[in-house]
Amino acid sequence: MGGEYTVEGRALIGESFDEQRVALHIRDGIIVDIEERSTGPDRWICPAFFNAHTHIADTVAMDIDAPGSLSELVAPPDGLKHRLLRETAPGDLIRAMRGTVDVMKRTGTSGFADFREGGREGVFALSTALEGCGMDVVIFGRDGGEAVANGLGISSVREHGNRTADLVAEARSTGKMVALHAGEKDGRDVEDAIACAPDLLVHCTHATDYHLRQIADAGIPVAICPRSNWRLGVASSRDFPPVRRMLETGCEVFLGTDNVMFVQPDMGAEMSFVSYVYGLDPATILRMATAGAALAKTSYLIEEQRKAHLITVDGAGGNALFSKNIAKSVVNRLNSLSIEGTILN
């Protein structure tokens, strides 16, 4: 939104997400002033979310009846999703991706990082689907798609073996980012993934303490996708992914929702799941749901001189008025509160 306007309410401010009653003055999309207020509307203002790991193209196979192992379902080149993607007409693919982008916006997501299959054509199809959406999108392509994307997305070091290092070096030489899935079904590919010094590791569901120490020391962020891990049968307790140990070790943890085929890319639902399974404090979960914006070289925190990426919730609707802790209520039950709008810039 351009121009000048003010949003008033109870906002979750800065990196601590402390609640303050404020008026946010926004000019040309930038929060120019955060003014404290003693009264005002019962509106909640929360940073919008960044979904740090998606595969939105496999919307085309959403909730298909598909028993099978992780590799039978999603591993390239012949897992079920890849066969279905090849069979889908380009127009249908673009429509499916647009539908998913719409769901993400309506559930408070302002940006996401997507692994896009299908080479250059795949990246072009996603770019077409994104036209006019106003979101911050980081595209990790493959099979040549990386040349026209923001970076290279590698399914696992297992896929390319010794060639992985060459692919990474090539992407780096052209200034591209690098992201890898690692440690999804076991920990055996984590060490080699860390050795690639990527910009992002995805999953680390089965990373050991030794791995986590290396990841933290190298400053590599980890996008965890807990609902996907449970859905695909690679997690059986809160030790997978080891979120508490990741945080204790000092890893930067982002939240992602992974394959739209299995999991709705709804960050409210992901936060709520993490809250129930891990019992973390709300500020930690909100940080995981927003900090991935760093992949798009931006920040979604509500601070002066930042771009406004906000969700507003009707704090007087339904049972919202009775919340004693709005950060906790956003984390636990955003979807049953009413999102008035998502402000993207």
Contacts with Zn ion by CB under 5 A lie at: 258
Residue nearest to Zn ion (CB): 258
Looking at the Cβ atoms of 181 and 307, the one nearer to Zn ion is 181
The least CB distance from residue 129 to Zn ion, in Å, is: 18
Integer-rounded Cα radius of gyration of the chain? 20
C-alpha to C-alpha distance for 126 and 117, rounded to whole angstroms: 10
The least CB distance from residue 259 to Zn ion, in Å, is: 6
The least CB distance from residue 263 to Zn ion, in Å, is: 10
Looking at the Cβ atoms of 7 and 74, the one nearer to Zn ion is 74
Looking at the Cβ atoms of 199 and 258, the one nearer to Zn ion is 258
The least CB distance from residue 202 to Zn ion, in Å, is: 5
Asked if 200 contacts 181 with a C-beta cutoff of 8 angstroms, the reply is no
Calculate the alpha carbon distances from 133 to 94, 117, 137, 177, 306 in Å: 13, 21, 10, 23, 20
The answer, yes or no, to whether the previous bond of 241 is cis (omega within 30 of 0) is yes
The least CB distance from residue 51 to Zn ion, in Å, is: 12
Cβ-based neighbour number of residue 101 at 10 Å: 24
Helix axes 119-130, 90-106, angle to 10 degrees: 50
Looking at the Cβ atoms of 79 and 282, the one nearer to Zn ion is 79
Sheet holding 18-27, edge to edge: 30-36, 18-27, 4-13, 43-47, 310-314, 339-343
